[in-house]
Amino acid sequence: MNYFEQERDAMAQSVPIFTEHGQTFEADTCRPVVGAVEAGHMRLESLARGSYPGRRLSRSVLPGIRTIGYWDTDHPQDWGLEWHRNEGIELTFLETGSLEFLVESQEFELRPDDLAITRPWQPHRLGNPNIGASRLHWVILDVGVRRPNQSWTWPPWVVLTKADVKQLTNFLRHNEQPVWGVTPDIRRCFGQIGRAVESDERGSNISRITAHLNELLVLVLEVFRHQKPELDESLSGTRRTVQLLLDELRRNRSQSAQPWTLPLLAEQCGLGATRFTHVCRQLTNLTPLKYLAQCRVEAGKRLLADEPAMSITEIARACGFDTNQYFATVFKRHTGRTPSAYRRQGHAD
């Protein structure tokens, strides 16, 4: 009986354990994600088995896949995924937003179209400390590693040639570059996987997901082979321009308090409203006006904490809100408290 036959016969909810130098490590269970989804703070679309959250994969399909899918949240969370390990290769693709990503001694800020790769049981974390607004895709593929230097066992649905599998395994086992910029084909492939996972009903899209996963493995292998993959640079200058404006709105209250409209924001970057909205959403996972409201609320929180002599009305106007009633409505939507309650309770987040 090979590893994948054993997996099908194992208890579905068992948590895999890795042993190294006399220490044992359990695979991650993503409990903070479960809490955020249950609280309505995050959308989760995933197929999973074992301790991972999501709709259950049946034992007979996609052996080795522990979890596959994406999350989508349009506002910062009050949690992060602390240091953890996964039992398989993890491919994590950031479609929109930004995320702090740490792996062993390295720290990165993931940007749209970044692909993060971790080896089985390699320690890593997401959020430093918390998760930001983002749409994040992932695949965790268990290749049967439970001890150091153990050979990898790929599942039978992988149709790459033996030579390609050997080369991909070698690249992944020895990869010391955790973050890669992706090709347009990889971006498209993750999007197709996400849509197939989302619309799957009791295994109806397994064939489609299997085909996309094989394509993804081929595309990742090609990235490794070329080292300098052909990237889609068409957005780089535009993204930089939009990012500078977004950073200024976040840092500078006098800027975020201006009477901005969507056309004015777009004009500031030399873009049309539709194009500006698209790029802003890529960078923040928010529409421009939602991002602006978030910046104004953050400015309000700082004033409530640092300027006790200012009235709520004065703070509302200083942050760009026409009335204190509108300020209170937006503030409560973002923080769960009114400005007065936030100030009274010692502005503890």
The domains of the chain, with CATH numbers, are 3-226 (2.60.120.10), 236-344 (1.10.10.60)
What confidence score (pLDDT) does residue 35 get?
93
What confidence score (pLDDT) does residue 241 get?
85
Per-residue model confidence as pLDDT tens digits over 307-326? 999 999 999 999 999 998 99
Instruction: Decide if pLDDT at 25 tops 80.
Output: no
Q: Which CA distances in Å does 52 have to 18, 38, 69, 86, 93?
A: 17, 14, 11, 10, 18
Token pair for 261: 């409209």
Under the banding of pLDDT at 50, 70 and 90, the label for residue 104 is confident
Q: What is the mean pLDDT of residues 40-69?
A: 96
Neighbour count for residue 148 (Cβ, 10 Å): 10
Q: What is the mean pLDDT of residues 265-282?
A: 93
Strand order in the sheet with 65-73: 55-56, 43-48, 65-73, 134-141, 89-97, 114-118, 179-181
Q: Provide, rounded to the nearest whole percent, the portion of the chain with pLDDT above 70.
A: 88
Under the banding of pLDDT at 50, 70 and 90, the label for residue 229 is very low
Instruction: Decide if pLDDT at 124 tops 70.
Output: yes
What confidence score (pLDDT) does residue 150 get?
80
Under the banding of pLDDT at 50, 70 and 90, the label for residue 347 is low
Q: Provide, rounded to the nearest whole percent, the portion of the chain with pLDDT above 90.
A: 73
Look at 96-100, 158-162, 224-228 and tell me which has the smallest mean pLDDT: 224-228
* Angstrom distance (rounded) from CA 25 to CA 273: 49
SS3 159: coil
Strand order in the sheet with 81-84: 81-84, 124-126, 99-103, 106-110
Bridge partners for 107 per DSSP:
102
Residue 339 near residue 328, CB atoms below 8 Å = yes
- Which residue from 253, 246, 265, 271 is spatially nearest to 132, judged by alpha carbons? 246
Chain Cα centroid distance, residue 43: 12
